[in-house]
Structure 1
Amino acid sequence: MYKLLIAEDVKMVRDTLMHAIDWESLGITVLGAVENGEEVLAWLEREVPDLILTDIGMPVMNGLQLIEAIMASHPDIRCIILSGLSEFEHARQAIKLHVLDYILKPIDPEEIERVLAHAVGELKLQREKQRGISMAEQAVKEKLPHLADVLPDAGWPENIKKRKLVEQAIGYIKEQFMRRDLSLADVAGSVGLSDKYLNLLVKEVTGNTINQMIISLRMEEAARLLKDPLIKIYKICDQIGYTDQDHFRESFKKQFGLTPTKYRNLFL
C-alpha cells in the first residue's frame, strides 16, 4: 500500500476526500488530512508519505510553497495539486516544481481515482527501476572480489585501480545503455583503456562482455516498459536503442524466453 497525506483547508472538502474515494482499491492508505502546509511539514518529521494531495489556496503556506519545501527535503514524494484556481500561472509553477498532476475543483471522485491510479502506477515503475538498479549494483559488488583471483597478489594498489576502472566502466554503461550508437570504444574511452583490454577485464569480473551487458540492460528496461500497455512495442524498441524490431524480438526472447508481445500479455 502507498501512503497518502491530504492538505486542504476546507473541512467539507477534506471529509469528502477522506470518505468518498475507495482508497483501498487504489492500493493507497490515507495517513490523514491536515489544514495547511505547515501541518504537512510537521507531519513529515514523524512519517513520510509516498504521495501528497494538496490544495493551492491554503492559509499560512499555500500549496506551491509547500511543494517547493517538500522537494527540498523529500524529493521522492510525488505531489498532486488540487485547486479551484485554474489560472495558467499556477499550472506553470506546478510544472516547474515537477508536480505529478493537477486536479481542478469541484471535486470529481472519478477524476481523483483516475489521477491517483496513474500516480500509483508511476510509483510502482519507479520502485521497480530502483530495485533493478540495486540488484544490478549488488551483482557487480558480488562479482568484483573475484578480480583478486585473476590479478597477482603483488602490486595491490594497481589491482585496486583496475577494480575501480571496471566499476567506472559499468557505471558508464548503466548511464548510457539506451544510446543507439553506444559502442565498446565509447565505454573504453570513458575510462581511458583500450577496447580489447577493458572487455577482457570486464569479462573476468562479471562473466559477461560489455556488449552482453548492454543488451541485458536494454532488455531489462524493455521488460519494464512492456508492463505499460499504452506504450507501443515499436516505440519501446526505438527507446532502448534498437532500429530493427526483429533483432529486438530475438534478443528479448533469448533473455526472457518469451517474445515481447507474449511477455506483455502476462500483465494484461
Structure 2
Amino acid sequence: MYRILLIDDEETIVEGLKKLVPWSEIDCDIIGVAVDGQDGLDQCRQLKPDIVISDIRMPKLSGLEMIRQIKALKKDVKFVLLTGFREFEYAREAVNLGVVKFLLKPTNIEDIKSAVLEAINQMDEEREKVKDIEVLRKKLHKYNMINHEEIPPEDKGHKEDKNKYLTGQAIQFIKDQHHHKLDLQTVADHLYISSWYLCKILRKEVGSSFVELLNEVRIQHAKKLLINTHDKIYEITEKVGYVDTPYFSRTFKKHVGLTPKQYRDQNWQQ
C-alpha cells in the first residue's frame, strides 16, 4: 500500500478527500492528516509518507516552503497540490519543486485519482532505476576488490575466469579514459575482442550496458569534483567526459536523485 498524507487547513476538504476517494482501489492508505504546513512537516518526519496531497496556502508554513523542507528530509516523496489560487507563480514554482500535479479547487474525484496514479507511476519508475543503479554499484565495487592482473586468461583456461578478467580490464580502461570521448568499440579494440563479445560479457558479469557503466563511472567522478573543487558545473561536465551540460544534469539526477547543484549544496566539504 502507498502511504498518503493529507494536509489542508479546511476540515471539509480533508474529510471529503478521506471519504470520497476510493483509496483502497488504487492501493493507497491514508496514514495521517495535518492542518497546516508546520504540522505537515512534523508528520512527514514521523510517518514518512510516499505521497503528500496538500493545499498551498496554509497557516505557519506555506505548502511550497513545506515541500522544500520535506524534500531535504526525504527526496523521493511525491506531491499533489490543491489550491484555490489561480496565480501562475505558484504553479511555476510547484513544477520547479517537482510537484506531480497542480489542481485547482474545486476538483473532482477522478482528477485526484489520476494525479495519485501518476505519482505512483513516477515513484515506481524511480525506485526501479535506483535498484538497477545500486546493483551496478555493488558489482563495480566487487571488481574494485579484485586484482585482475593476478588472473590473466592464458593462465586460467576457464571461460568464466577469462570473462571476469576481461570485464575487470574493461572497467579499469573506462575509469582511466572516461573523461575522453569513449564508445564500446574503443574499449573492445583495447581488449582485442569484438564489440559484440564485450557487450555480452558486460551484460553477464555486471548486468548493465556499456553506456550505463560509463555513465556510472562518470557520475561517481563528478560527485567527487562537486564536493572537493570550486569547478563550475559546465567545467565538471567537460572534465568527466560529457559535452552537453543539460544531459549531464539529467543523467546525474537519475543516478543520484539530486541535481549537481543540489548535491554540492548538501555535501560541500570546503
Q: TM-score range by the shorter chain?
A: 0.5 to 0.7
1:37 Cα deviation from its structure 2 partner: 0.8
Match of 1:147 in 2: 147
Structure 2: give runs of 5+ residues left out of the alignment.
153-167, 214-270
**1:84-107 alpha-carbon deviations (Å, 9 max, x no partner):** 112212111111222111111113
TM-score, normalised to structure 2, is 0.59
TM superposition shift of 1:115: 0.9
Q: Encode CA deviations 1:140-185: one digit per residue, 9 max, x unaligned.
A: 334554434427xxxxxxxxxxx79936837998xxxxxxx96147
What is residue 12 of structure 1 aligned with on the other side?
12
**Deviation (angstroms), 1:123:** 0.8
Q: In the aligned structure 2, how far is the partner of 1:30 from the partner of 1:169?
A: 47
Q: What aligned pairs does 1:108-147 form with structure 2 within 5 A after superposition?
A: 108-147=108-147
Residues 172, 63 of structure 1: CA spacing in aligned structure 2 closer, same or farther, 3 A cutoff?
A: farther
Task: Work out the percentage of aligned pairs sharing the same amino acid.
Answer: 23
Note closer, same or farther for the CA distance 1:118–1:182 as it changes in structure 2 (3 Å cut): farther
Q: 1:208: which partner in 2?
A: 202
Equivalent position of 1:166 in the other structure: 171
Shift of 1:198: 10
Q: TM-score, normalised by structure 1?
A: 0.60
Q: What's the CA shift string for 1:183-237, capped at 9, x where partnerless?
A: 1477x6xxxxx9615989xx99x94399x9536859xxxxxxxxxxxxxxxxxxx
1:139 Cα offset (Å): 3.1
How far apart are residue 108 of structure 1 and its match? 0.7
Number of aligned residues: 192
Residues in 2 aligned to 1:8 and 1:110: alpha-carbon distance in whole angstroms: 19
Secondary structure of the residue that 1:60 maps to in structure 2?
coil
User: Does the CA-based 8 Å contact 2:184-2:210 persist in structure 1?
Assistant: no
Shift of 1:65: 1.5
The residue number in structure 2 matching 1:37 is 37
Give the partner amino acid of 2:113. Answer: E
Matches of 1:121 and 1:213, distance apart in 2: 23
Cα contact 1:4–1:29 (8 A) shared by 2:
yes
Q: Is the 8 A contact 1:6 1:52 kept in 2?
A: yes
1:68: which partner in 2? 68
The alignment partner of 1:208 has SS state of helix
Aligned to 2:25: 25
- Quote the Cα distance in structure 2 between the aligned partners of 1:171 and 1:46: 45
Runs of 5+ in structure 1 lacking a partner? 152-162, 174-180, 189-193, 219-268
Give 1:46 deviation, angstroms. 1.9
1:60 deviates by: 1.2
**Counterpart residue identity of residue 4, structure 1:** I
Change (3 A) 1:30 1:185: same
Contact 2:53/2:81 (8 A) holds in 1: yes
* Distance apart, 1:138 and its partner CA: 2.5
8 A Cα contact 1:27 1:120, kept in partner: no
Cα distance in 2 between the residues matched to 1:168 and 1:60: 55
Structure 1 residue aligned with 2:250: none
Alignment RMSD: 3.9
1:106 counterpart letter in structure 2: P
CA distance in structure 2 between the aligned counterparts of 1:64 and 1:171, rounded to whole angstroms:
43
